[in-house]
């Protein structure tokens, strides 16, 4: 190759190498700037809510409450957190779905911000939630459900949806200090009845995992825990039993290793 052509080719290769290096650096700076200017997920969600969507669902919720069903179901509930632009928060725990005769249990803990002044009465709260699901028939009040939080107003109704009907028992209770509401429902098939004692047991097992910056909610749950009935069973910490019932501790005689030993 002619020396001038070789020199031109070398210059061309060097120029292309510098150009590629420059483009790579520019791309890296663009990505870094995008990461730096990226709005955090929570803030972006709240800005979206402020723009017109009252409630948004948090993408990766960190559970603040735990709910264990009394039927031996050891699976984890579906956990969702909805946030309001004005500070409200709803923690929603649910088991199952209402397809066919399958049952569904939903418990919602609502801690409002400035988006509302006061909670509606329990009947209005229950009716509003039920109408979001389908057609409601025969809604009527039933006996309150006892719980460690105090009595919950309860309502029975038939819920009709496109894929079938369900018998439901809904409940709600609001607190003024802290401003907090616990509400939910237990729905089964159309021919099944929901046992109120099962709901009472589930509420008995509703516990607080993390209070965050809400010490009053932590106090509410701590006080309620003192009134826990352990689903009608004795407190396992206070009702310990001797493993060998054949050992008599206060009598004149004791059975030991299968023999009667006089004292």
Assign 249 a pLDDT band (cuts: 50, 70, 90). Answer: very low
Strand-pairing partners, residue 183, are 108, 172
- Examine the pLDDT at 160 and tell me if it is beyond 60: yes
Both 105 and 151 in a single domain? yes
Other CB atoms within a 10 A radius of the CB of residue 23 amount to 10
Both 168 and 135 in a single domain? yes
Both 2 and 64 in a single domain? no
User: What does the CA dihedral 133, 139, 142, 145 come to, rounded to 10 degrees?
Assistant: 10
Query: Does residue 85 fall inside a structural domain?
Result: yes
- Examine the pLDDT at 34 and tell me if it is beyond 70: no
Q: What is the pLDDT of residues 200-239, one digit of tens each?
A: 999 999 999 987 789 999 999 999 999 998 887 655 555 4
Both 93 and 2 in a single domain? no
CB 94 within 8 A of CB 82: no
Both 9 and 135 in a single domain? no
User: What's the domain range around 29?
Assistant: 1-38
Query: Does residue 97 fall inside a structural domain?
Result: yes
Query: Does residue 262 fall inside a structural domain?
Result: no
Report the mean per-residue pLDDT for the chain. 77
Cβ partners under 8 Å of residue 45, min gap 6: 56, 58, 59, 83
Both 12 and 137 in a single domain? no
User: Looking at residue 37, what is its pLDDT?
Assistant: 35
Both 116 and 214 in a single domain? yes
Dist CA 243 CA 44 (whole Å): 58
Q: What is the pLDDT of residues 41-76, one digit of tens each?
A: 444 443 443 444 689 999 989 999 999 988 766 678
Query: Does residue 251 fall inside a structural domain?
Result: no
- Examine the pLDDT at 257 and tell me if it is beyond 60: no
Both 13 and 86 in a single domain? no
Query: Does residue 238 fall inside a structural domain?
Result: no
Q: What angle do CA 119, 46, 180 make, to 5 degrees?
A: 25
| Share of residues in the chain with pLDDT > 70 (%) | 65
Query: Does residue 219 fall inside a structural domain?
Result: yes
Both 57 and 119 in a single domain? yes
**Burial letters for 145-168: b for 16+ Cβ neighbours within 10 Å, e otherwise?**
bbbbbeebbbbbbbbeeeeebbbb
Query: Does residue 168 fall inside a structural domain?
Result: yes
CA distances to 6, 8, 16, 20 from 13, rounded to whole Å, are 11, 9, 5, 11
Q: How far apart are the first and last CA of the chain?
A: 118
Into how many domains does the chain fold?
2
User: What does the CA dihedral 73, 104, 205, 63 come to, rounded to 10 degrees?
Assistant: 90
Q: What is the pLDDT of residues 106-156, one digit of tens each?
A: 999 999 999 999 999 999 999 999 999 899 999 999 999 999 999 999 999
Query: Does residue 243 fall inside a structural domain?
Result: no
Both 96 and 215 in a single domain? yes
Dist CA 177 CA 180 (whole Å): 8
Both 19 and 81 in a single domain? no
Dist CA 181 CA 122 (whole Å): 10
User: What does the CA dihedral 38, 211, 84, 187 come to, rounded to 10 degrees?
Assistant: 120
Longest dimension (CA), the chain: 121
CB 246 within 8 A of CB 238: no
């Amino acid at each position: 190759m002619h020396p001038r052509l070789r020199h031109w080719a070398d210059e061309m290769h060097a120029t292309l190498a510098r150009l590629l290096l420059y483009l790579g650096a520019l791309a890296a700076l663009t990505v870094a700037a995008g990461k730096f200017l990226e709005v955090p997920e929570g803030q972006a969600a709240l800005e979206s809510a402020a723009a017109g969507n009252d409630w948004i669902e948090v993408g990766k919720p960190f559970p603040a409450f735990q709910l264990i069903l009394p039927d031996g179901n050891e699976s984890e509930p579906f956990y969702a957190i909805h946030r309001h632009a004005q500070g409200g928060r709803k923690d929603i725990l649910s088991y199952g779905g209402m397809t066919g005769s399958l049952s569904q249990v939903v418990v919602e803990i609502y801690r409002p911000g400035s988006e509302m002044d006061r909670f509606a009465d329990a009947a209005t709260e229950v009716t509003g939630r039920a109408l979001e699901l389908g057609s409601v028939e025969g809604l009527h009040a039933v006996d309150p459900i006892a719980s460690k939080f105090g009595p919950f107003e309860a309502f029975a109704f038939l819920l009709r949806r496109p894929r079938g009907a369900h018998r439901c028992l809904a409940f709600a209770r609001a607190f003024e200090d802290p401003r907090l509401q616990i509400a939910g429902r237990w729905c089964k098939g159309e021919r099944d009845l929901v046992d109120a004692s099962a709901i009472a047991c589930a509420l008995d097992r509703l516990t607080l995992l993390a209070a965050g910056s809400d010490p009053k909610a932590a106090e509410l749950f701590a006080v309620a825990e003192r009134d826990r009935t352990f689903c009608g069973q004795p407190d396992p910490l206070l009702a310990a039993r001797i493993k060998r019932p054949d050992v008599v501790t206060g009598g004149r005689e004791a059975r030991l290793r299968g023999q009667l030993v006089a004292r």
